[in-house]
Amino acid sequence: MTHALVLGRRALREGIRTPEAIVPTLFIPLFFLVVNVGQAARIFPGSTTGFLHGQGYGAFQLPSSMLLAASFGSAALFLVEEIEGGYFDKIRATPVSRSAIVLGRLFAEGVKALVIAGLIVALGLAFGITIASGVLGFLLLILLTAGWAIVYAGFMQVIALKTRSAAATNSAGLVFFPLLFLTPNFVPRNLLTRPMEIAATVNPVTYVMEALRSLILQDLRWETIGLGYLVVAVAAAIMLALSVRIIRAYD
Amino acid sequence: MEVAVEAAGLVKTYRGRSGTVEAVRGVDLRVDAGEIFGFLGPNGAGKSTTVRMLTTLLSITAGTAVVAGLDVAREPDGVRRRIGVALQEAGLDARQTGRELLVLQGRLFDLSASEAAGRAQELLELVELTEAADRRIKSYSGGMKRRLDLASALVHEPQVLFLDEPTTGLDPASRVTVWDEVRRINERGATVFLTTQYLEEADQLCDRLAIIDGGRIVREGTPASLKAGLRERLGLAREATLDDVFLDATGRARTHVAGEVQEVKA
């Protein structure tokens, strides 16, 4: 674990020293939040739309932006850079456990996502959004977002280790994006058309989004929250196992 | 004499889209402790592949390798604790400072934070990089990067140091500085396994050397014995050079290696 933390701190330094890789992570989700709310807020006024629980449409859209921000991690591209530059081999030539090499970057992505999610929520609060589930809900909200960031970074890391190519890793990120949109992104699941409802129901990201949304709009609803955390835990375990397997067989 | 590196029948094959490639085809090697051993060969001969197998970075298809007393395939972590590795193209993290890189390397070899900081300072002094220690590596020259890479391979005082083409791309002055470092490291007790394309480098530094071509060892011995052997075999009137030995061993003609000079008209 010490090795994972040491490597995680290095990855954090790397992130801090590359602000140009972090700025879009914050800017693009906020851009989508403003555009989506601007386009649909009048269709769904807070006073008469039941699924908003008395808040504005921005509160409903906030989880989409948080998930989008968590799906922008640059860890895998830094990893490809390291593989191409030879530093990855330098680390592999040390007695550090293979899982620590994988965990270090994921730890850093989790910390970065905590900060970014906190900033997005803080901006939301400044614009009148409230976290109905209180302080505990706020903590659960940013923790779940960070968990999703780890899943996404893990997926990208798997692709980076397998392909060792920046182009392939970037493309794989795009494959992941439809999952973010095959969700109850604009309205709750029961208001979607039947095909979209089916797609959203089989899409695990839906349950993460619904957990985030329930934390913003409602009291602590443990069943919904638990489902979101379960999806993140299972997906993270799969990504971690795959990464470790690939790095152990890495030639 | 204690053995630092021993390989027997080492083979590496890759399966690619165009079929199976045999990069190394049964290498037998023995490097005694305390030696500077040179590993020479033309591009694509199998030098780096052999080094990567010996340093645990590449799986071994067939054969065995024992480094610093441990079997590479069975005890890779043990081997990693006993060797230092500086590969081609100085693999460094350009966003870190020299000091941060050395401290991190120390931490990965289980030094405490204060031990790693102390060791980093010692090594920065050894390779004369104290003034640049807190600058990001991306601002370092090629020679500085090589010296830092060397220092990072020494953090845990390895028994065997593998240097894969440590002076490729360096200017003559930086090259001599690296040679001095290698000698100093060897004098402190480390066995040095060095691959190079520069025959002068091998002549200057190595106690013994092997030449690999087409994935097989084609010559092995001290530079003096290899040169004397060639002179005797070919009945040369002059002293043979290591260039002559290399060209003879790899079946390449001097003119072929030098290439043709063509006049280019605008």
> Is 80 exceeded by the pLDDT of residue A128?
yes
**Please, which pLDDT band fits residue B198 given cuts at 50, 70 and 90?**
confident
Q: Is A145 exposed, middle or buried (0-12, 13-18, 19+ CB in 10 A)?
A: buried
Query: Quick check: B241 pLDDT over 50?
Result: yes
Q: State which of A36-50, A162-176, A221-235 shows the largest mean pLDDT.
A: A221-235
Band of pLDDT at residue B172, cut at 50, 70 and 90: confident
Nearest residue, CB atoms, B104 vs list A2, A10, A85: A10
Mean pLDDT of B240-254: 83
Query: What is the model's pTM?
Result: 0.85
- Read off the pLDDT band of B168 (50, 70, 90): confident
Q: Which of A1, A13, A89 to mutate to test the interface with B (most CBs of B within 10 A)?
A: A89
Q: From the CA of A7, how many Å to the nearest CA of chain B?
A: 8
> What pLDDT was estimated at residue B266?
38
What average pLDDT does the structure give for chain A? Answer: 90
Asked if the Cβ–Cβ distance from B108 to A94 is below 8 Å, we say yes
* Best mutation target, B53, B87, B88, B93, to test chain A (most A CBs within 10 A): B93
Say what the pLDDT of residue A170 is: 85
Helices and strands in chain B, H and E counts: 10, 10
Measuring CA to CA, how many Å separate A156 from each of A10, A135, B118, B146?
19, 32, 37, 31
Q: Per-residue pLDDT tens for A9-43? A: 999 998 888 888 888 888 888 898 888 888 888 88
Angle subtended at Cα A133 by Cα A214 and Cα A176, rounded to the nearest 5 degrees: 35
| Residue of chain B whose alpha carbon sits nearest to that of A1 | B108
Nearest-by-Cβ selection for A251 from B59, B93, B95: B59
More confident position, B179 or B120: B120
Each residue's pLDDT tens digit, B8-57: 999 999 887 778 888 999 999 999 999 999 999 988 889 999 999 999 99
Mean of all residue pLDDT scores within chain B: 88
CB contact under 8 A, A95 and B95: no
Q: Six-digit token pair at A61? A: 């859209």
* Residue recorded with tokens 């968590």: A70
Examine the pLDDT at A222 and tell me if it is beyond 70.
yes
Question: Which of B88, B95, B108 comes nearest A18 by C-beta?
Answer: B95
Contact call for residues A101 and A194 (beta carbons, < 8 A): no
For range A162-173, the mean pLDDT: 87
Could you tell me what percent of chain B has a pLDDT over 70? 94
What pLDDT does residue A198 have? 94
- Residue B79, pLDDT > 60, answer yes
C-alpha span between B179 and B201 (Å, rounded): 8
Distances from the Cα of A38 to the Cα of A58, A75, B119, angstroms = 9, 32, 58
Domain edges within chain B:
3-221, 223-252
Given a cut of 90, whether residue A233 has pLDDT beyond it is yes
pLDDT at residue number B261? 45
DSSP one-letter code for B253 = -
Q: Which of A113, A170, A156 is nearest to A242 (CA)?
A: A156
Residue A177: band (very low, low, confident or very high) from pLDDT cuts 50, 70, 90? confident
pLDDT surpassing 60 at residue B257: no
* pLDDT range class, residue B254, cuts 50, 70, 90: low
Name chain B contacts of A108, Cβ cutoff 8 Å.
none
| Residues of chain B contacting A18 with CB distance shorter than 8 Å | 95
Give the residue-averaged pLDDT of A90-103. Answer: 91
Query: Does the distance separating the beta carbons of A88 and B91 come in below 8 Å?
Result: yes
Percent of chain A with pLDDT over 70: 100
- Whether CATH 3.50.50.60 fits B3-221: no
pLDDT at B90: 67
Nearest to B108 among A6, A13, A88 (CB): A6
pLDDT for the residue numbered B16? 77
Residue A19: per-residue pLDDT: 84
ipTM over 0.90: no
Interface test with B, best of A1, A9, A80, A94 (most B CBs within 10 A): A94
> What's the pLDDT score for residue B260?
46
Q: Could you report how far apart the first and last alpha carbons of chain A are, in Å?
A: 24
Shortest Cα–Cα distance, B170 to chain A (Å): 17
Q: Do B87 and A90 touch (CB under 8 A)?
A: yes
CA atoms of A216 and A213, how far apart (whole Å)? 5
Residue B221: what pLDDT? 94
Tell which phi-psi region holds residue B221, choosing left (phi > 0), alpha (psi between -120 and 50) or beta: left
Q: Which two tokens stand for residue B249?
A: 């061993």
Tell me: pLDDT of A113 over 90: yes
Query: In chain A, what are the domain boundaries?
Result: 2-248
CB contact under 8 A, A13 and B88: no
Tell me the mean pLDDT in the region A240-246. Answer: 92
